[in-house]
Structure 1
Amino acid sequence: MSEQVQQGQVPAGQGRRAAFGFIFATALMNSISFGLIIPVLPNLIKAFTGGDTAQAAEWNVVFAITWGAMQFICGPLLGLLSDRIGRRPVLLVSVFGLALDFLIIAVAPDLMWLLVGRILNGMTAASFSTANAYVADVTPPEGRAKAFGWMGSAFSFGFLIGPALGGALGDIDLRLPFYVAAGLSLLNGLYGLFVLPESLPPERRTTRFDLTRANPLGSLRLLRSQPDLLGLAGIGFLFQLAQTVLPTVFVLYTGYRYGWSPSVMGLAMMASGVAGVFVQAVLVGPVVARIGERGALLLGCAAGAAGFAWYGFAPSGLLYMAGVPIFALMGFLMPGLQGLMTRRVAPNQQGQLQGANQSLQGIASMVGPALFGLSFAWSIRHAEVLQAPGLAIYLASGLLFAALVLGTRVARAPLAIAQA
């Protein structure tokens, strides 16, 4: 490592581009690790309940709410900690922690140990928000939307190949994907330990760790500290809440309405993932350069609202798939939003900002499964009253329409851009 890297500094120019490459690789490996366990965790829970599907579904909700609660509590804490001691130590603790979490889940003898693993997983999953703070550190404000688009593509690509690989490994042994995820996380940690440079030099760190700000309620003070920042955070919350609809009801909805088999569902998810990666990795940069971060944010909100409405209306599977290109344009939303939000806070507050965002994501993860799962169940049970099997997806569309309306009021460039 160079002397600058050893001292916790990212050099300008080529060094900044190299630093972004390091964090992109970290995000990609992390996303693959998470994607690996998606298709097998519910079945592992079901195995612990003796094959009782209803009981497994109840436990799955408990696990989802618990994970979201840990994000809600720990996101601000770890975000502020990264502002105080640097991004690299927090990333290392998170990634090595994930390796331990996955290993605990892999060897768990019962549901209680499985729950312990998920609690630790939620506590240490700050690598996503800290990675975003790292991007803000090493990218000039005018280039952040494009960089966040690339980060989004890393997450999308990881979730594109992770579930397919996890499903194949799960057919061999339900616990095998967790061992592989633990191994990938361990390799990711070693990569960070020996390769990843620090992005936040000592002179740009916050001077003290304030516990009054290192909690979900305290983090709201930061969101109120700059004009329109709280409104932008509200757009992010509405987006994250709407996003939970597909993980909650996609399998049940497409099976009920279109009679799709698991293999068809997998192909549909893959097609959606490919379209999302293309938008985030290829289109975000030139489109943001042309229409700006505000335009990208509004385009993403409008496309998401229209895409969800299309999915809820589509009377056939073929028409459902025709909506994929529209829905994929929602990939402009987060790069535009992150670009606008990171411009409004100082370098030593980027971690706190991302921690606050992750806390809001935790709330969305707790509320979303109940909101969309119950509304989908109601629409099926009362089909004779309201012929709307896509009710839950319409609700997601409404949330993004609300985000679009809010965006027209608060999505504007700040009067003064924080120096990066």
Structure 2
Amino acid sequence: MNQEASETTALMRRAQKKPPTPLPKLQLGIIMLTLVCGPIAAGSIYPYVNELVSELGITGSDERRAGYYAGLESLFYVTQAMTVLQLSSASDYVGRKPTLWMSLFGTSLSMLCFGLSRSFWMLVVTRCLTGFSNGNLGIIKTALADLTDRSNQAQAVAFLPIMWELGSAFGFFLGGQLSQPQRRFPNMFPGTFWGHYPYFLPSLATGSFVGLVGLLVLLFFKETAPHKKRPIWDGLDDPNGHISISPPSTPRSLLQLFTFPVMISLFNNIALSLLNIAVVSLVPLFFAMPITVGGLGLPPQKIGSAMAIQGVAIAGFQLLFFAKITRRFGERAVMIAGLSMFPVIFGLMPVISTVAQQAGQSAAVWILVAFLLSLNILPDMCLGVVWMFLNASAPKESRGAVNGLGQTAVSVARAIGPALSTSLFSLSVERNLLGGYAVYAILGAISVGAVILAMRLPRELWEEEDL
């Protein structure tokens, strides 16, 4: 028995040394396009949502209260968290392809309805529908695993954060450049429709793009899920012509997964996601609010352009330097350094506000804004690193469950972050807490706690023997 196991192990090791399997480029390209749809749908409303809320009159003409209602961005992630596990499980039974294209078409339709909404409650309903239909990140990662093997998986996974940032940048660009088209391009958009629905065009562009990707999935994506459960083979015949079968490992119960490696990785994932989405939500609000209430008074076009440039810069940096920096300094050091940027970000925003109140939208303000946006490069590197820690902490037979826990926790954190940050902003300026800057003090304190939490991570990725 030991001899058979040794021979099997040796054969598997020799098999692992073969050249990487070529990636299925068309199928992988379609999967990457489906990944882009999520951040586009999530981020396209950020440049104009504060202006939209103010124009609907639900703030009572008090611009300081816009942050309370702009927190409807959280609804996307709240409802997404409710469907992540369900959609992923459904893909095991009906297949990856139908669950993917149905979720994409649902997202497309809900974005169109969002652009036609003229009341706060209609915005709430349509944003919830967008989140419900967009809980497909688990399917995307599962399909990616179906399409790759151990020899080429890292090569494919390296594109995940890059595509996410490009999707976010594209979403910010669409939301900023296409809002209020009649006001900006009256000759191209005449009539009363565009005046009554000034934010339908970015929703139309976003919904059309997502719908087109859904059509590509329907027509060209090949199903990757197996039709039925099969035993786990090692894939190699022994010298006597028999096929060796490795019995599947029994997955651990949910309670058994609550080990220190899993929990510390999970908590770091939650902290990073909470702070990351808090910044993504707070920065556009900070840009949009009038200088007199602690903002910069920028229009949606400038907000969208600035955040789109940031997204492209982050994606380029990830592509060129992520692997080199991680190898040079280690995953733990990258995680600590990235989280350490959040206290600086929250500390810099009141400084920019003070300069703007004294000098307006001067060159000094724009230099500080550029510095502020560049600080997000390191925290975004942590998104890949924390995923590596989470996967390394998971027992082999329960990696799906651990990743499911992680994705659900991330969705919940992303649901809390926008409402927390934007509501704290409005509360701070409305009641003049710490001169209107209490939001930055509170989020700064949370980010310091996140840095301390990251220090509990090991210097190297978790080893299976430790589990």
**Interval of TM-score (by shorter of Structure 1 and Structure 2):** 0.7 to 0.9
Check conservation: 1:83, 1:349, Cα contact below 8 A: no
Give the structure 1 partner of residue 318 of structure 2. Answer: 280
SS state at 2:130 partner? helix
Note the aligned Cα RMSD (angstroms). 4.0
Q: Percent identity?
A: 20
Alignment of structure 1 residues 264-413 onto 2, 5 Å: 264-314=302-352, 316=355, 317=365, 318-345=367-394, 352-381=401-430, 386-387=434-435, 389=437, 391-411=438-458, 412-413=460-461
Deviation for aligned residue 1:125: 1.2
Q: Alpha-carbon deviations, 1:309-330, whole Å to 9, x = none? A: 4445555423343244333111
1:186 matches 2:194:
no
Measured after TM superposition, the shift of residue 13 of structure 1 is 1.2
Return the alpha-carbon distance in structure 2 between the equivalents of residues 139 and 292 of structure 1.
25
Match runs of 1:191-202 below 5 Å: 191-201=216-226
Higher RCO (CA 8 Å, separation ≥ 6 residues): 1
Q: How many residues get paired? A: 394
Q: Secondary structure of 1:24's match?
A: helix
Instruction: Give the structure-1-normalised TM-score.
Output: 0.76
* Shift in Å, 1:220: 10
TM-score, with structure 2 as normaliser:
0.70
Report the equivalent of 1:121: 130
Quick check: 2:392–2:463 contact (8 Å CA) kept in 1?
A: no
Task: Decide which structure has the larger Cα Rg and report it.
Answer: 2
Q: Distance in 1 between matches of 2:35 and 2:126?
A: 21
Which one-letter code corresponds to 2:448 in the other structure? Answer: F
Instruction: Call closer, same or farther: CA 1:160–1:121 in 2, change over 3 Å.
Output: same
Partner of 1:5: none
Alpha-carbon distance, 1:337 to partner:
1.0
Q: Deviations over 1:380-418 (max 9, x none)?
A: 3565x73572x423433433332332223235423229x
Instruction: Identify, as 1 or 2, the structure richer in helix.
Output: 1
Q: Kindly state the Cα deviation for residue 333 of structure 1 after the two structures are TM-superposed.
A: 0.4
**What stretches of structure 2 of length at least 5 have no aligned partner?**
1-19, 182-193, 233-251, 356-364
Q: After TM superposition, list the pairs within 5 Å mapping 1:13-412 onto structure 2.
A: 13-15=21-23, 19-44=27-52, 49=57, 52-53=60-61, 59-61=69-71, 63-82=72-91, 86-108=95-117, 111-138=120-147, 147-172=156-181, 173=194, 174-201=199-226, 221=254, 224-254=257-287, 255-256=290-291, 257=294, 259-262=296-299, 264-314=302-352, 316=355, 317=365, 318-345=367-394, 352-381=401-430, 386-387=434-435, 389=437, 391-411=438-458, 412=460
Find the counterpart in structure 2 of residue 414 from structure 1: 462
Deviates more, 1:294-303 or 1:374-383: 374-383
1:25 and 1:336 map into 2 onto residues whose CA distance is 23
What residue identity is the alignment partner of 1:187?
A: L
Show structure 1 runs of 5+ residues with no match: 1-11, 208-218
Letter in 2 for 1:339: M
Contact 1:78 1:90 in 2 (8 A): yes
Partner of 1:9: none
